[in-house]
Amino acid sequence: QEVEEPCDDEMFQELVETLPKAKGYNRSYYFYQGFWCPPSYFRGLLSFQKHFQAFDTHIILATLPKSGTTWLKALTFSIANRHKFSLQDTPLLNFGPHNLVPFLEKLYSENPCPNLENCSRILSTHTPYASLPPSIKDENSKCKIVYVCRNPMDVFVSHWHFVGKLRRPEYMEQLSIDEGFEMFCQGIHGFGPYSDHVLGYWKASQTNPNKILFLKYEDLKEDIVFHVKELGKFLGFPFSKEEEDQGVVEEIAKFCSFDNLKEMEGNKNGKSPSGFPNSVFFRNGVVGDWSNFLKPSMVEHFVKLIQEKFDQSGLTF
Ligand code: A3P
């Protein structure tokens, strides 16, 4: 489905009216190019797809919401800027990772042609791989993509809590976990369905491992020091032997840990560019917290989904 970017409100409305819609957790989503797009990002998405020109120096952090975006932003920012800012004077002390690494769909919703020269070289997106602008995927482009995926049960539980926290009680009742589960299973959540999103980046990373680094939240949790080094290498900022001996890798890992990051001023009291309190991006950051919330029948469903969708892919959870 190819859609020309609408140039005015009337054309935009006409386009929106042609798209399938579904009521999601707290809003309706538009079904576009095979995924469910939150309406607030739809206009920005169209501009991003049409106008974004990747620089060779760009680093694109791609995720499905609630998979570890905030963590990946902090890690990448710290690794790529370590010669510019020490951890004693990093902007992460005062600003949230979302304030330092712009979300492209949001950036383009504010301005259909933002000046990328003055923008951070690290950028983020929730757009599925198939719908990324051509210049990112162009084989001649040297820009890099890092994707982080997370076990679907933890993504769902994290998302359900996130939406619950952002809910304005005067407008919306608390969504039961059963209702939330139903929608998630149908793929109706921001940039879902889950399996298409993950598999899109997974397959692309298999074909093009030098361009796309595919990470798992659970692996980061298990051995963050190893992954900080891997990220540095992949992004073209390898840690020197001297840095390793000085413990720079461990320092970055510790600085970006859940417990440390959530206490930073910008994360305790700041707001994200989308207007959310940055604190909502920090809940408990635990692997397997789903076991405290999901009923056995829900777990059964997820296990089946993982088997059906991922068994042949080589990706395990
Ligand atoms: P939980 O709700 O399971 O705690 P995203 O950044 O993609 O929105 O994902 C948010 C999830 O990542 C939340 O998961 C949040 O607590 C967790 N998270 C945020 N910062 C983290 C960090 N530094 N380390 C580990 N997990 C983190």
CA of 32 to the centre of ligand 1 (A): 27
Separation in Å, CA 109 to CA 43, 45, 87, 102, 293: 6, 7, 32, 12, 35
Q: Which pair of tokens denotes residue 105?
A: 């769909």
- Phi and psi at residue 195, in whole multiples of 5°? -65, -35
Would you say 143 and 55 are in contact if contact means Cβ atoms under 8 Å apart? Answer: yes
- Encode pLDDT of 280-309 as tens digits: 999 999 999 999 999 999 999 999 989 999
pLDDT at 164: 85
pLDDT at 171: 60
Q: Is 71 in the pocket of ligand 1 (CB under 6 A)?
A: yes
d(CA 297, CA 317) in angstroms, rounded, equals 19
Task: Flag residues of the chain having pLDDT under 50.
Answer: 1-3
pLDDT at 26: 65
pLDDT at 7: 56
Q: Decide if 126 is catalytic.
A: yes
pLDDT at 2: 47
**3 state SS of 64:** coil
Pocket test for ligand 1, best of 282, 289, 293 (most atoms within 8 A of CB): 282
- Encode pLDDT of 180-229 as tens digits: 999 999 999 999 999 999 999 999 999 999 999 999 999 999 999 999 99
Going by DSSP bridges, is the β-strand pair 28-32/21-23 parallel, antiparallel, or unpaired? antiparallel
Q: Is 302 in the pocket of ligand 1 (CB under 6 A)?
A: no
Atom of ligand 1 nearest to the CA of 74: 23
d(CA 261, CA 68) in angstroms, rounded, equals 13
Determine which one of 58, 126, 159, 197 is catalytic.
126
Number of Cβ within 10 Å of residue 282's Cβ equals 18
pLDDT at 173: 67
Q: Is 272 in the pocket of ligand 1 (CB under 6 A)?
A: no
pLDDT at 174: 72
CA of 226 to the centre of ligand 1 (A): 19
